[in-house]
Amino acid sequence: MRSNLEDALRSGGSGVGTRIVRINALNTAWGHADAEAVAGMAPDAVLLPKVTSAGDIDMLAKVTGSLPIWAMMETLLAVLQASEIARHVLHGMVMGTNDLLEDLQSRLRPDRLALIPSLAHCVLRQRRMVSSSLTASAMCSKMREACWLSASRVVIWDLTERH
């Protein structure tokens, strides 16, 4: 999977837009290898899932260098730490609403009522730190294949292993 993604990125990928690669969380068996691989692939940014603190961002930056990092905000702890995380995330946050709903012990409703406080909190924290950033909400509905998020010409390529 990594070599296919690297080939696609080198050949121009999906065309116009910001190309972001979602890696496995650093506390998984694949996370550090993903981080090392993505650092050499030349995407526009890397998306780190399961972020719970700014320390997670700092750990990834040690491996990926100057590659822009986006944080996947998908737990209650991440939402509560949004200000601290936003200070370290210069490019954006993606709201992982399926996992967040689970962590909130809630269910998906068409009006997304249970998510509104968390979404608003993260948007306000991110915008306060970086006025040009993007906070996007990803609803992947527990898909097992690649998750594509289209928001302001952003494409997220999923490099994660799902077991």
- Domain spans of the chain, in order of start: 2-158
The identity of residue 39, as a single letter, is A
Q: Where are the beta strands (DSSP E) in the chain?
A: 18-22, 45-48, 69-73, 92-96, 134-138, 154-158
For helices 31-39 and 2-10, the axis angle rounded to 10 degrees is: 20
93, 70 in Cβ contact below 8 A?
yes
Instruction: Give burial (CB, 10 Å; 0-12/13-18/19+) of 118.
Output: buried
Count H helices and E strands in the chain, helices first.
Answer: 7, 6
Whole-number Cα distances in Å, 83 to 37, 86, 124: 29, 5, 9
Both tokens of residue 122?
A: 């993260």
Q: Where are the beta strands (DSSP E) in 2-111?
A: 18-22, 45-48, 69-73, 92-96
Fold of 2-158: TIM Barrel (3.20.20)
- Residue 12: its pLDDT value, please? 67
**pTM score, whole prediction:** 0.78
**Cα(134)–Cα(34) distance, integer angstroms:** 24
- Residue 33: its pLDDT value, please? 92
Residues of the chain falling short of pLDDT 70: 1-2, 12-16, 89-90, 128-163
